[in-house]
Amino acid sequence: MQEREKMLNGECYNPNCDELVADRLNAKKLCMQYNSLSPFQQEEKKEILISLLGNYGRDSVIEPNFFCDYGYNIEFDGFVYINHNSVFLDCAKIKVGDNTFIGPNCGFYTAIHPLKAEERNKGIESAKPITIGKNVWIGGGVTILPDVTIGNGAVIGAGSVVTKDIPSNVVAVGNPCKVIKKIEQ
């Protein structure tokens, strides 16, 4: 099995193989092109996002600067707004639901590195997906870690570190992020 297949299947893989290095370099090239465009070059920006992302969604907006590892593991299910300086380390799928708003300086990290130094030093890693529901609001400076699902209609407070699943229709804040109240519908 190739390293990309292992990565996509959530197995341990070598991110430094030629294929994955080439994939990351391509994504970084496209991110650099995207981030350097004028705000008035909307069609060019859209073309880059369509070629970079697994699914661009419907008229989504990503403010520069935007960074990702691969791009093809990022999927928008409809309209998504992402404010400035976002980082998507998409070794596994990152799915974002319709009408989700993401504040500035947010990070989505799917990579998992071994805890034992001797294993970590071999350069092997694995990855788990991140899933964000519909109608979610993620405040500025939020970090979302691997294997997390955020339910529909949730609000994640600024500066939170999301380490565990967050249910639908709640406000959650803190480090680690915890539910503080239910949102009445």
Catalytic residues: 113
- DSSP-assigned beta bridge partners for residue 73: none
Integer CA distances (angstroms), 52 to 34, 38, 72, 170, in order: 10, 18, 6, 32
The pairing of beta strand 94-97 with beta strand 130-132: parallel
Return the HEC string of 126-151: EECCEEECCCCEECCCCEECCCEEEC
Integer CA distances (angstroms), 141 to 51, 78, 94, 103, 157, in order: 27, 23, 18, 7, 9
Q: Extract the tokens encoding 85.
A: 């300086």
CA atoms within 13 A on the CB side of 6: 15
| Cα 23 to Cα 16: distance, rounded to the nearest angstrom | 11
CA atoms within 13 A on the CB side of 99: 7
